[in-house]
Amino acid sequence: MSESDMDDDWAAAMNEQAVAEAATATPPEEGDAVQPARIFEDFAAHHPATAEPQGFDMIMDIPVALTVELGRTKIPIRNLLQLAHGSIVELDGLAGEPMDVLINGTLIAQGEVVVVNDKFGIRLTDIITPQERIRKLNR
């Protein structure tokens, strides 16, 4: 490093110190905006808005309970105790009506039952938007 480079660095440091001392010596006037010190790195510049939020990968493997509901009914305990192999319980859902798809007990979609390779599945026909879910909570 040459002597002129060191002089320039020294002059810049002295100038910076003078500015800092001047800022602390005179209190800001009313209406003057005080600028925050740039202590922390601006992470928003490194992560565009279209990218996934930082740490989003951490929740991707958390299991949730997905339930497909055919229908519901209420029966007295007397009738519940009489149920046996082959008993039929009538549900409030109609044949051909869309099934409710719940995640952790919250309705998120509706769909129709399908059979694939001798296993039941559900084809989603209607996804409940977050706005619709909030509207149902307010009822």
Q: In the structure encoding, which two tokens stand for residue 31, read together?
A: 């209406």
Is it true that domain 3-137 has CATH number 2.30.330.10? Answer: yes
Distances (CA, A) of 7 to 10, 11, 12, 17, 22: 5, 6, 9, 15, 22
Q: Where are the beta strands (DSSP E) in the chain?
A: 66-69, 99-103, 106-116, 119-127
Residue 69: count of CB within 10 angstroms of its CB = 13
Please compute the mean of the pLDDT values over residues 30-43 and round it to a whole number.
61
Mean pLDDT of the chain: 79
pLDDT tens column, 56-105: 788 888 999 999 998 899 999 999 999 999 999 998 888 888 999 999 98
Please compute the mean of the pLDDT values over residues 3-24 and round it to a whole number.
71
User: Which residue would you say has higher pLDDT here, 87 or 137?
Assistant: 87
Q: In the structure encoding, which two tokens stand for residue 60, read together?
A: 């991707």
Global pTM?
A: 0.51
Residue 99: count of CB within 10 angstroms of its CB = 20
Structural domain boundaries in the chain: 3-137
